[in-house]
């Protein structure tokens, strides 16, 4: 079974904004026998200002060391990294994950709208760039 790692902003976003696009991707890709891997997004990390990282709920899954280890393991396991940069917030974690995926030789599909803050050669020269989630999912389904 193929797998896709779903990378994208979390910190400062509302919980639903961080989760909904991942749920949509998973719902579409499962029909093509493509498994989705993605970071743990603890509902307890949601504050009135958005997701606060690191989460301090005390759950072992939310431990910073565990989060980094699991996410990097997921990137090692996956066939494709789908990076959703359609946010006006800089996503340091996602940019790091892209660099790690490049080092591993992974295929990267990045969603970057026109004039996005993440439009940078370190991303655009190493990824297939699309403008929407729908476009990204259609592409991944054909791989």
For 100-123, the DSSP string reads HHHHTT-EEEEE--TT-TT--HHH
CA-to-CA distance for 143 and 138, rounded, in angstroms? 9
Pick the CATH number of 2-141 from 3.40.50.2000, 3.40.50.450, 3.30.70.1450, 3.60.15.10: 3.40.50.450
Residue 82, number of CB atoms within 10 A of its CB: 29
Listed by start position, the domains of the chain span 2-141
| pLDDT tens readout for residues 24-80 | 999 999 999 999 998 766 656 556 656 555 666 666 666 777 788 889 999 999 999
Tell me, what's the pLDDT at 54? 61
Higher pLDDT, 65 or 108: 108
Residue 42, number of CB atoms within 10 A of its CB: 19
């Amino acid at each position: 079974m193929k797998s896709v790692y779903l990378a994208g902003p979390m910190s400062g976003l509302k919980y639903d904004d961080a989760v909904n696009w991942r749920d949509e991707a998973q719902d579409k890709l499962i029909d093509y026998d493509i498994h989705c891997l993605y970071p743990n997004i603890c509902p307890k990390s949601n504050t009135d200002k958005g997701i606060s990282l690191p989460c301090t709920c005390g759950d072992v899954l939310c431990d910073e060391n565990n989060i980094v280890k699991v996410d990097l393991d997921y990137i090692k396991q996956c066939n494709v990294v789908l990076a959703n940069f359609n946010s006006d917030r800089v996503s340091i974690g996602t940019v790091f994950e892209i660099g790690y995926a490049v080092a591993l030789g992974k295929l990267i599909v990045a969603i970057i709208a026109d004039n996005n803050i993440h439009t940078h050669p370190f991303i655009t020269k190493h990824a297939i760039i699309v403008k929407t989630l729908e476009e990204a999912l259609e592409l991944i389904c054909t791989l």
